[in-house]
Structure 1
Amino acid sequence: MKKYVAEFIGTCVLTLFGCGSAVAANTLLGKSNVVVPLGFSTLLIAFAFGLSIVAMAYSIGNISGCHINPAVSLGMLVSGRMEVKDFVGYVVAQFLGGILGAALLCVILGSNAALGTNGFGEASAMGISAGIAFLVEVILTFVFVLAILGVTSKPENSSVAGLVIGLSLTLIHIMGIPFTGTSVNPARSFGPALMSGFGSLPLSQVWVFILAPLVGGALAALCYNFLSKED
């Protein structure tokens, strides 16, 4: 249970700080008396997500491995580093953590009008279609999970793994924010979408940000298994 509790806390922190920073950055960007360059806003959000991973990796990494992402857990399962029982427990804990993080953000903001949700079409800065959003999320998650599988494959990397993973997530967000807001994490997307309310646009689109990261994570594991085999 300690592993599941750790995953619950980690996903809650990631959602609260990452999505909270997205809300803050977008709010400042919309204020006429505050000058915030659009590029700086993207970097602010990207580093908020990346540094959240770094903080949690060195806090709970020795307890649960700090997946805090169902796509990462699926990658670990497919690569043979995780049992099915633990995978189910991790995913449940991660989704619950994402919901709590979004709920806390609602309490802090006093509203559920903007929670750092993901989207496509009118909800995307680039106005991309659902199909392109799906492709973008698969690619981003593939790169992210591949980096995780690589850096965690050797015990001697343990001291720097959290930093590498956090910076990789930062890179992913810099690329993905203009397109989808960057999910690469079904639990991080589902919590804010659910708190946005039934019938809301984020909840109607969240299926892309649940399914695409899982596909990307599974493909990354299959690719890494192929590349890492000596024969």
Structure 2
Amino acid sequence: MKTVLHKASTRGFFDHGWLKTHHTFSFADYYDPERVHFGALRVLNDDRVAPGTGFGLHPHSNMEIVTIPLSGALTHGDSMGHSETIGHGMIQVMSAGRGLRHSEMNKDLNRNAELLQIWVIPDREHVEPRYENAVIADLLRKNRIATIVEPYPGNGRIPWIYQQAWFSIGKLEKGTELVYPFHSDKSFGTYVFVLSGDIEAAGIELSERDGLGVSETQEIPLRAVTDAQILLIEVPDIR
């Protein structure tokens, strides 16, 4: 088993006034040659958007983009004609493909919107752009790991992306021990990101917003040191 540890305090951080953002991997003005990607996982941004502000219309192409709201709400608009508001307990997935433009706005004038935006390098390029969102709150159960994103073509129950990748969330009570088994023996590894609380993953202690990439194995032992919530992103390698 091989691990790479990214403590929360070592992430790139920028305060743009309207946006406070942490970058686990190199992004925009933050660059670390040792932290460009983990397999096909390219971006993991932890954003806080101020009331009444947001990301104006901007382009993307050939990237799978997963947005997970943590608190507050974001109104999404795009060049495909979608205009929808997503909040905690939901997830948004876009395949940018041959190109699209979209915006993400916090229209609440009193409350921050907090979210994770995650980019995965796709297994094909120039596809027809697509968008979907889904409620995932009902999938989450205490002391279990629930898959919330799966590879194309999917089973129709949860969102999918154009990559052999799986996103899962675990809600663990203090003292819970379990094992995360990889979905595929062809996976490069799984990135464990702590949303809240303290856990032990692969024998390494992690706190809120710490990340741990685990590879050269087919399972990860997990233990909740406190009540905790974790995100797991299982990805292939990129060649």
TM tier, shorter chain? Answer: under 0.3
Greater helix proportion: 1
